[in-house]
Structure 1
Amino acid sequence: MQFTVHTLSRIMDGVSAMAISAKGISIETKSVKKLYTWQSQSQPPVILNGKITPKIQVFTADASFKVRIQTCNIELAQFELQKLWLSSHVNKLKQSILKLESLLEKRYLSHSLLSAAQRMTSELAQYWLTWSLDKRFEPHLGQTRFTLEEVHHWQQQDIDEFREAFIKKQLHDFEAYFDSVSAQPLTIAQRRACVVVDERQLLLAGAGTGKTSVMIAKVGYLLASKIAQSSQILMLAYGKDAADEMHQRLKYAQLDATCRTFHSLGTFILTEVEGRAPVLSNMSNSEQQKRQFIHETLVSLCQDQEFKTRFLTLLKSEFKLVKSDTEIDFASPSVSRAVRLFCELIGLYKQAASLGSMQHIEGQYESVLAVFRPVLTEYQLYLANEQSIDYDDMISRAIKYVKSGQFRSPWVHILVDEFQDISPVRAELVKVLLAQHPRSHLFAVGDDWQSIYRFSGADLTLTTHFAQHFGPSTVMQLDKTFRYGQDLLDLASDFVCQNPQQIVKQVRAQRVPDEPSVLITPEVSENSFTFVIKKIAGNSARNMSVMILARYHKQLPSKEALLLLNEQYTHLNISAMTFHAAKGKEADYTILTGLDSDSVPAKRQNDEIIDAFLPKMEAYPDAEERRLFYVALTRAKRQTYIMSPKKPSHFIAEISTQL
């Protein structure tokens, strides 16, 4: 195609000649000749009517310019120009849209995929959506351009509708699988939690809502839909029993994935990097041995007069040692309290140091830390001489190896159970593992209503402010409990949500019980729960489980007493444990005892320095104790008996108003 440059171009634009070919548009001036290839032009050239003569406008990535031409058939010229431009651009458009359609069809529209789609369409829109396509090209390009325009202009409603359409299709395609993967067919909410696969996903799963079933089904869905291979999936639990249960349930479902506790994960990473399994110090599992070591270390360090003076000053200022004392009685309660404090501090201090969060603590508590640091140094020297580590070393060293790349994670999908119990240092290990893959997935399952381990470093905000810590995410809820009746669900939910920081959930019970699920019974003597057991035994013709629960171990029956009860009521399986130990467990009947006002909620306060190392305490009074009592309330499948003493906890009074 040849356009003749109008005489005015020579005068006004300095253009002496212009040629159009399959390569592009060539512009010649007195001093230079330049080819503007079709690939370099951001849209087809446009021929404009001028007052005197037409102009051809050329668009480049940086700017546009116009050249006057002789009068011509504008419609035909415009068609030919589009044809030439399209010949260089249309394949890229079609390939990009096909790739986009393939991704959108095969995968859930996650935050990462949405961002990628928006980046892709934003780039393409600069080339394709700023001009009008000649109708003669529409049969070949109409649908492609329509798809581009549709995705480029997506609003939130469009995104939601697209995601919902994908979910419904997956629920249909995998209906038979979700019907059979567990002992009971999964609920709609459980199924949706499986087919939604976002890079960061939090599933809020209340007591008895079947979270483990969802985690197993999620693994099966990832494998069946070919989203992941078994070697790419890691399931993390807190306790060995929970990890073993997940492994057994995977095996029963004929599925394969890696199941570990955080500690066994740390062991695995260290073994892979160091070539041998780390040796765990005996003190790691023995509080008594650790306290004995700290006590002996303090005695030894006090051989140095300067240290002895600092320790003596600390005992007087913080641990109620008599001001006039000039010597240290290492058998005194003051020294025992200091030993107990240092025992707690070791893990918290090491975790804070590994996360680089010591600055706000060191200056404020220097009088304590000046005595504590030499003790910690001796502790670490002992571990080094013993060629062993403790749990805190295991996690911090694992983080270091992952960060440095000495350990390469094979896991693209990480599923974490009991996420409400996660601490910042464990969250950091999860984050660095995820960071090793450009598109990694975290499926966190937990219940903020059951967060009861702040004393060991658990940070509730990692759940309640999930997106702030882990990035753009999807938050979902399980909406049905299978454990207990609607009356207990209403009672327990209302009780725990008095704390405004708890996430409100819409949960329903599968059944409405024939008799009340919660009964308050006067506790007239120390072992009044035996009368309740007798009543349960008399009403139960078949084997039933009974759990006796209390805030503290000392409030529970002895092993001997428990053995006698089981021998007396052979058709009952009677156990006893603290509220903390009961989390994750269930029984047909539970008996809550030891609920006097001095015990529940607990009155013991942490030392100020311990609180400084722990996640920030909530403003709502007794927030964690309220959650702990909620855990105790929600263990029974049939009935919960609350033993009310002469001076009952105000929790009992609060609950009784709803019964």
Structure 2
Amino acid sequence: MGEENNLVLAGAGSGKTSVMIGRTGYLLESEQATADEILMLAFGNKAAEEMSTRVLDKLNTDTVKASTFHSLGQQIITAVEGRKPSLSALATNTMALDQFLESSFNELMSQDAYKAVVVRHFLYFRFEPINPFAFNTLADYNRAVKDNDLKANQGELVKGYQALLIANFLYKNGIEYQYEAKYERQTKTLDFRQYQPDFYLPEFGVYIAHYDIDRDGNTAPYVDAAKYLEGIEWKRELHETNNTRCIETFHYEWTEGKLLQQLEDKLSNFGVDSHPLSNDEIIAQLESAEDRPLAELCALLGKMLKLFKASNMNGELFTPEEQTLAPTTFFQKIFERILRLLSNKHQTANDLNRMKSAQQLMMPLYMMYENHLLENDDIDFDDMIIKATQYVENGDFTSPWKHIMVDEFQDISSSRADLIIALRNQSKDCSLFCVGDDWQAIYRFAGSDLSYITAFKKHFGVTQTTTLDMTFRFNNSISDIASSFVTRNPEQIEKDISTFSQVSKPAVSLFRTNGGNESQQLANVEIVLKAISALKSESTILILSRYSFTLPDTQILERFEKDLGNIHLTAMTMHASKGKEADFVIVMGLEDGKFGFPSENQEHPLVDVLLPPSQAYPFAEERRLFYVAITRAKHRTYLIADMKKPSSFILELINEAYEIELDEFGTSDAQLVHQSVHCPVCEIGSMMLRSGKHSDFYGCSGYPRCNHIENGCQECGAVMQRSGERKVCTDASCQVSVPICPKCGAELVYRKGRNGNFWGCKNYRSEGVSCGYSVSSVETAKVKGFE
């Protein structure tokens, strides 16, 4: 490893830190470097302390100590300025920073101009615009709506972004409305649900129907255009027949930027009076809302502020003359730059207006924060690295180091990378030695940029790459499963990991459950703990989950330890488990949803634009996080999954035939069923058993956005699954089937006609929108009543 640049790709448990220590010892022993020419860098105080301790233990010297990037920055600034920089209390105390931001935000909220910007944000810019025509499948569109959790200011969940704009417009103008209220006349039949226009204005007896068509009458790619247009005509005839008034709005009005203006004109023409709410009235309602939207906004702006500082946009591409401008002028230039950056990703008028709103919200808060630092002659951690980099680049600081070594390099951010490059470029003889694992890159949300390790040569020049491919932590079963899983993403660097420990049976076990309340979930954990207790005495066990609120609390853990006697438990999030290990691992929270795993809780677009580019592969970082969780175990990993709403990762493990243990805890037919029965309407939900007034039925897990329901099997009550031209009972011992209409997907019903009996579509009706498909006979094997 004599190259100028060395990258060591080290698998989990392969001894990354030991390589750093060994490299240090080699340099000292061979007299290629003295202690003061070696710079060892780690990402946190604890990691740096542990590395320094291991240097002392293994090399018997305390002359080489590991440093964090922040302490390195402080060292450089002190050397240049002749005094140690004053670190702001806001940098070292998260609670103090949050309190400062909250106090500053509240101060801004006393200003009418800022209050108006906040109101405009909540009315029109709180959510990312979702264009239904931009998706190729209904599932993709519905997933986007679900991920964004579209909630109108009045509080109801809506099924589309344009419906959200209409709802908030009515709310702002003091027009009482009901979302998807049932039409005043009965239109429900045995085959059709009651007609529910998008909006109803009870004070004026006016309906609003919004149609997702362009000016040429085209629909989104996944919508049956003929059927959709037929439905529009049926609704128009219905209103005309019943003499009910209906305002129509259209998708193309939104794309042309005229939706709300034209809605205002149409409301006026229908005699609908508006009584606009004042900004103070809207703010008062936001302050009293249960979901605390103002606190959410303040937290969002605080997160943007931190990422903005960490990304070094405040100094990037500005001349020294510009950087010496008065703070207010310079901050204005900064935000003009970020607006241009945002505009590169968001080209429509709707998007640009939203970005301008973000600028108007963010800039005053950012200026208050920066002025606070200036007034107190303080800097924060980001300043510490950025300022140090500038001193190195300008030649104010001369680097004494000829060997720079960085641990956990997959966690590097752009500002830290800039500092390393500046130090290395000062000397032709400087060697860069970086150790990391792209498979364990899980901190993009904090600014880590994976490209620095996956495209190392591009950033740092000619590179000698070495792979540590032997792990001493886990066995071959865990390795094979975890490696196969993470490398489904083609952008991950290929590594062939070998294991010191070999087993002949699967060491990843799936416990399929029926979900349940918190008590039942803890009971499931206890079942796994008893199984572990029987396997090995005095075991260490990590209980991991994506989110901390889904983990057992300390009292529960203590009870488990007391009851079983020979186990030692630690519960933490998957992110916190990085670098940890235990005899056994239990992974909880493996279910679908916003706070499931993989997490569908998307980064806010205004935050996402400040982060390093993400990989195109779906859930790429969540996939790496799952790899980290699985590979914390020395002997065996247990996955507890709710099969009523299973994680897509769990379904992949099952459907792609990974060699995992499926039978350790037994599995009911119901648990097998739920892993594959998806809602045929929205295509993203699962059909779940629900109880009605008169009988049980199956409803989509996406309710209330998707209200699709189906009856279970007439014979045994199990959920039915569509297979070709039939719906088949999923109970293997039953398998009764029902023929379905090839035209619209509804069930076929056996009917009597004037010319004989026939099978007709359940969606047939004598007038209005109807499916007239019929057939004289179908294959009746296992059809109820035709056995």
Q: Structure 2 length as normaliser, TM-score?
A: 0.57
What corresponds to 1:486 in structure 2?
A: 476
Task: Write the deviation string for residues 328-354 of structure 1: whole angstroms up to 9, x where unpaired.
Answer: 337353322221111111122122324
Task: Write the deviation string for residues 478-526 of structure 1: whole angstroms up to 9, x where unpaired.
Answer: 1211111111111111100000100111221112125532111234521
User: Where do residues 344-383 of structure 1 align in structure 2 (5 Å cutoff)?
Assistant: 344-350=303-309, 351-354=311-314, 356=316, 358=337, 360-361=340-341, 363=343, 364=352, 365-383=355-373
Task: Kindly provide the amino acid, as one letter, of the partner of residue 343 in structure 1.
Answer: G
Task: Kindly provide the amino acid, as one letter, of the partner of residue 565 in structure 1.
Answer: F
The higher relative CO (CA closer than 8 Å, separation ≥ 6) is in 2
Tell me, what secondary structure is at the counterpart of 2:627? helix
What corresponds to 1:530 in structure 2?
A: 526
2:125–2:357 Cα contact (<8 Å) kept: no
1:291–1:339 Cα contact (<8 Å) kept: no
Partner residue of 1:341 out of 285, 300, 311: 300
User: Where do residues 82-231 of structure 1 align in structure 2 (5 Å cutoff)?
Assistant: 196-231=1-36
Equivalent-residue separation in structure 1 for 2:430 and 2:503 (angstroms): 44
Tell me, what secondary structure is at the counterpart of 1:613? coil
Tell me, what secondary structure is at the counterpart of 1:582? coil
Query: 1:450 Cα shift?
Result: 0.7
Equivalent-residue separation in structure 2 for 1:509 and 1:203 (angstroms): 18
State the percentage of identical aligned residues: 38
1:235–1:414 Cα contact (<8 Å) kept: yes
Q: Which runs of 5+ in 2 are unaligned?
A: 127-151, 154-167, 173-276, 318-336, 344-351, 515-519, 660-787
Report how many aligned residue pairs link the two structures.
463
Equivalent-residue separation in structure 2 for 1:280 and 1:571 (angstroms): 46
Structure 1 340/509 Cα, relative in aligned 2: closer, same or farther at 3 Å? Answer: same
Deviates more, 1:471-480 or 1:381-390: 381-390
Equivalent-residue separation in structure 2 for 1:300 and 1:565 (angstroms): 48
What corresponds to 2:685 in structure 1?
A: none
Equivalent-residue separation in structure 2 for 1:563 and 1:387 (angstroms): 48
Task: Kindly provide the amino acid, as one letter, of the partner of residue 527 in structure 2.
Answer: F
Task: Kindly provide the amino acid, as one letter, of the partner of residue 531 in structure 2.
Answer: K
Task: Write the deviation string for residues 96-153 of structure 1: whole angstroms up to 9, x where unpaired.
Answer: xxxxxxxxxxxxxxxxxxxxxxxxxxxxxxxxxxxxxxxxxxxxxxxxxxxxxxxxxx
> Given the alignment of the two structures, is residue 448 of structure 1 paired with residue 449 of structure 2, yes or no?
no
Equivalent-residue separation in structure 2 for 1:226 and 1:213 (angstroms): 20
Equivalent-residue separation in structure 2 for 1:567 and 1:224 (angstroms): 50
Structure 1 627/446 Cα, relative in aligned 2: closer, same or farther at 3 Å? Answer: same
Tell me, what secondary structure is at the counterpart of 2:462? coil
Partner residue of 1:388 out of 378, 397, 403: 378
Tell me, what secondary structure is at the counterpart of 1:641? strand
Deviates more, 1:234-243 or 1:569-578: 569-578
Task: Kindly provide the amino acid, as one letter, of the partner of residue 341 in structure 2.
Answer: I
2:477–2:505 Cα contact (<8 Å) kept: no
> Given the alignment of the two structures, is residue 613 of structure 1 paired with residue 573 of structure 2, yes or no?
no
Task: Kindly provide the amino acid, as one letter, of the partner of residue 525 in structure 2.
Answer: F
Task: Kindly provide the amino acid, as one letter, of the partner of residue 335 in structure 1.
Answer: L
Equivalent-residue separation in structure 2 for 1:298 and 1:536 (angstroms): 51
What corresponds to 2:648 in structure 1?
A: 650
Structure 1 355/221 Cα, relative in aligned 2: closer, same or farther at 3 Å? Answer: farther
Equivalent-residue separation in structure 2 for 1:377 and 1:618 (angstroms): 33
> Given the alignment of the two structures, is residue 465 of structure 1 paired with residue 270 of structure 2, yes or no?
no
Equivalent-residue separation in structure 1 for 2:401 and 2:100 (angstroms): 39
Tell me, what secondary structure is at the counterpart of 1:576? strand
Task: Write the deviation string for residues 46-88 of structure 1: whole angstroms up to 9, x where unpaired.
Answer: xxxxxxxxxxxxxxxxxxxxxxxxxxxxxxxxxxxxxxxxxxx
> Given the alignment of the two structures, is residue 290 of structure 1 paired with residue 83 of structure 2, yes or no?
no
Query: 1:217 Cα shift?
Result: 0.4
Deviates more, 1:340-349 or 1:258-267: 258-267
Task: Write the deviation string for residues 192-246 of structure 1: whole angstroms up to 9, x where unpaired.
Answer: xxxx121111110010111111110011111112211111111111122211111
2:588–2:640 Cα contact (<8 Å) kept: yes
Query: 1:361 Cα shift?
Result: 1.9
1:521–1:644 Cα contact (<8 Å) kept: yes
Tell me, what secondary structure is at the counterpart of 1:289? helix
1:362–1:369 Cα contact (<8 Å) kept: no
2:109–2:115 Cα contact (<8 Å) kept: yes
Structure 1 463/249 Cα, relative in aligned 2: closer, same or farther at 3 Å? Answer: same
User: Where do residues 556-575 of structure 1 align in structure 2 (5 Å cutoff)?
Assistant: 556-575=551-570
What corresponds to 1:507 in structure 2?
A: 497
Partner residue of 1:590 out of 585, 592, 597: 585
Query: 1:610 Cα shift?
Result: 1.2
1:519–1:642 Cα contact (<8 Å) kept: yes
1:232–1:411 Cα contact (<8 Å) kept: yes
Task: Kindly provide the amino acid, as one letter, of the partner of residue 620 in structure 1.
Answer: Y
Query: 1:280 Cα shift?
Result: 3.3
Task: Write the deviation string for residues 379-400 of structure 1: whole angstroms up to 9, x where unpaired.
Answer: 1122333443322122112212
Task: Write the deviation string for residues 447-502 of structure 1: whole angstroms up to 9, x where unpaired.
Answer: 11111111111111111110101111111111211111111111111100000100
Query: 1:355 Cα shift?
Result: 5.5
Task: Kindly provide the amino acid, as one letter, of the partner of residue 38 in structure 2.
Answer: I
Partner residue of 2:411 out of 414, 421, 428: 421
> Given the alignment of the two structures, is residue 274 of structure 1 paired with residue 81 of structure 2, yes or no?
yes
Equivalent-residue separation in structure 2 for 1:572 and 1:275 (angstroms): 54
Query: 1:303 Cα shift?
Result: 3.8
Equivalent-residue separation in structure 2 for 1:281 and 1:568 (angstroms): 47
What corresponds to 1:314 in structure 2?
A: 121
Equivalent-residue separation in structure 1 for 2:397 and 2:604 (angstroms): 38
Partner residue of 1:399 out of 389, 394, 408: 389
Larger radius of gyration: 1
Query: 1:251 Cα shift?
Result: 0.3
Give the aligned CA root-mean-square deviation in angstroms: 2.0
Deviates more, 1:470-479 or 1:277-286: 277-286
Equivalent-residue separation in structure 2 for 1:556 and 1:286 (angstroms): 26
Q: Which runs of 5+ in 1 are unaligned?
A: 1-195
2:342–2:609 Cα contact (<8 Å) kept: no
What corresponds to 2:550 in structure 1?
A: 555
1:297–1:375 Cα contact (<8 Å) kept: yes
Q: Structure 1 length as normaliser, TM-score?
A: 0.67
Query: 1:427 Cα shift?
Result: 0.4
Tell me, what secondary structure is at the counterpart of 2:609? helix
Task: Write the deviation string for residues 281-337 of structure 1: whole angstroms up to 9, x where unpaired.
Answer: 333344443333223222322444333333332232223655514223373533222
